[in-house]
């Protein structure tokens, strides 16, 4: 199945400050993006996994990037290289996608106990996403490697609920290549 992807992070900020005779303004607008065509070579991806998941209080899960996750059509995905990873700590959303009850605990990504996916966060590194926070790691369009996945020995992405007080909901998107 063909896959075309545009992964982007957009930043827009206006910094203003009152001066003696005027107000100074410094606008900032920047977009970082990777556009990927279908395939497994440089600037290409052929696999996508996306899901909204909920973890019970203090629960953890290991997402196996090589041979366990299913795509939207029910096919098993085996990532060899990840080109983009987005994780967003949300909460309960309504039918239109609006967060109605935000998480109260953090979502912690990384540091699986066995066979951790190491090329992004090393074996013990983590990213802590406070309620409403999100994280994106995107390999550039000219990057021939991306973030390598090694089946069986370095393919588990751990996601954890930081506390025992309540459930957490998160979105995850993984785009990558099968070779």
Domain boundaries, the chain: 43-177
- pLDDT mean across residues, the chain: 94
Compute the distance between CA of residue 25 and CA of residue 165 in angstroms, rounded to an integer: 44
| Domain covering 43-177, topology | Jelly Rolls (2.60.120)
Compute the distance between CA of residue 146 and CA of residue 137 in angstroms, rounded to an integer: 10
> Dihedrals φ, ψ of 24, to 5°?
-85, 145
Segments of the chain scoring below 50 in pLDDT: none
Q: What is the pLDDT of residue 1?
A: 78
Q: What is the pLDDT of residue 91?
A: 74
Which pTM does this prediction carry?
0.91
Compute the distance between CA of residue 132 and CA of residue 168 in angstroms, rounded to an integer: 11
């Amino acid at each position: 199945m063909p896959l075309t992807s545009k992964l982007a992070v957009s930043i827009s900020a206006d910094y203003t400050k009152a001066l003696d005779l005027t107000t100074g303004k410094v606008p900032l607008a920047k977009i970082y993006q990777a556009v990927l065509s279908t395939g497994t070579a440089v600037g290409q991806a052929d696999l996508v996994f996306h899901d909204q998941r909920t973890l019970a209080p203090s629960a953890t899960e290991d997402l196996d990037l090589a041979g366990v996750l299913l795509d939207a059509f029910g096919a098993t995905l085996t990532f060899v290289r990840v080109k983009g990873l987005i994780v967003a700590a949300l909460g309960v959303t309504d039918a239109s996608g609006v967060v109605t009850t935000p998480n109260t605990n953090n979502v912690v990504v990384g540091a699986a106990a066995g066979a951790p996916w190491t090329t992004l966060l090393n074996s013990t590194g983590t990213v802590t996403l406070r309620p409403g926070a999100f994280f994106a790691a995107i390999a550039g369009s000219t990057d021939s490697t991306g973030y390598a996945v090694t089946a069986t020995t370095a393919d588990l992405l751990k996601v954890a609920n930081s506390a025992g007080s309540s459930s957490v909901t998160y979105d995850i998107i993984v785009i990558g290549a099968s070779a």
